[in-house]
Copies of this chain bind each other. A is one copy, B any other.
Amino acid sequence: MKLADLSVTDFVNTLASDAPAPGGGSAAALYGAMGAGLTAMVACLTQGRKKYAEYAEFAAQVERRGNELKNRLLAVMDEDTAAFNQVSAAFALPKDTEEQKLARSAAIQAGLKACTLTPLDCMELAADAASLAWDLLDHGFNQSSASDLGVAFLSLSSALRGAWLNVLINLGSLKDETFKANARVKGERLLASGLKLSEEGYQKVLELVE
């Protein structure tokens, strides 16, 4: 069963249990999906109001893009758990002969690469969503939803930082130095740009509501 099909209660209970997955990686992807979703919600509530008529067309674009990012991030939530299960299955492979040992080791390394690429996808999508939420902050949006836009930025900050922890913990066990170096460069770039947007966005909203 897909995680996205579980009820919210069952999802959080499974997260809290000793089931090895879902864990922090899928949680980070869900924070990303909720951040993109809240951005779409604020864009939606900015349309059809006389007071915000001048921003309506732009808000409609933000809503569409926010929903696309939300759907991609919901898919990443399940992809992260699938990648984790791939590594678990590799660890369970037989290791009696030299040939088996080599095949098992290769399968573990392939799984760990998947476990690194999935949170990098999460970071890329969350950074895009943070940029989208800033567009709304820059152009104009329904001020009654300021706290919702603020929570969107916080969600994206947690998605970025949480996915980055998952990249780092997998890099520790990977052997392919070129892959590791590329993943680190990409992750550090996304973290720096995305976190600046999401933390500054939150601060700006905090000033609006204080």
A interface residues with partner B (beta carbon < 8 Å) = 3-9, 11-13, 15-18, 20, 23-25, 27-28, 30-31, 33-34, 36-38, 40-41, 44-45, 66-67, 70, 74, 77, 145-152, 154-155, 157-158, 161-162, 165-166, 168-169, 172, 202, 205-206, 209-210
Q: Are A74 and B8 in contact (CB under 8 A)?
A: yes
Residues in B with CB closer than 8 Å to A16 are 36-38, 40-41, 44, 66-67, 70
- A154-B161 Cα distance, complex, nearest whole Å: 8
A32 to chain B, nearest CB (A): 10
The contact of A5 among B9, B24, B210, by CB within 8 Å, is: B9
Q: Take A8-B4, A24-B150 as given contacts and tell me if A18 and B44 are in contact as well, using a CB distance cutoff of 8 Å.
A: yes
Copies of this protein in the assembly total 2
Question: Which of B11, B34, B202 contacts A27 (CB under 8 A)?
Answer: B34
- A24-B152, A31-B155, A74-B9 known; A205 vs B165 contact (CB < 8 Å): yes
Some 14 contacts from A to B, beta carbons below 8 A apart, are: A7-B8, A8-B11, A9-B74, A13-B37, A15-B34, A16-B40, A24-B38, A25-B147, A28-B154, A31-B155, A147-B162, A150-B161, A161-B202, A165-B205
Q: Considering the chains assembled together, what is the distance between the CA atoms of A193 and B20 in angstroms? A: 31
Q: Tell me whether B44 and A17 are in contact (CB under 8 A).
A: yes
Residues of B within 8 A of A20 (CB): 45
Contact of A172 among B7, B18, B209 (CB under 8 A): B209
User: Which chain B residues border A37 with CB–CB below 8 Å?
Assistant: 12-13, 15-16
CB distance from A166 to the nearest CB of B (A): 5
Establish whether residues B151 and A24, one from each chain, have CB atoms under 8 Å apart when the complex forms. yes
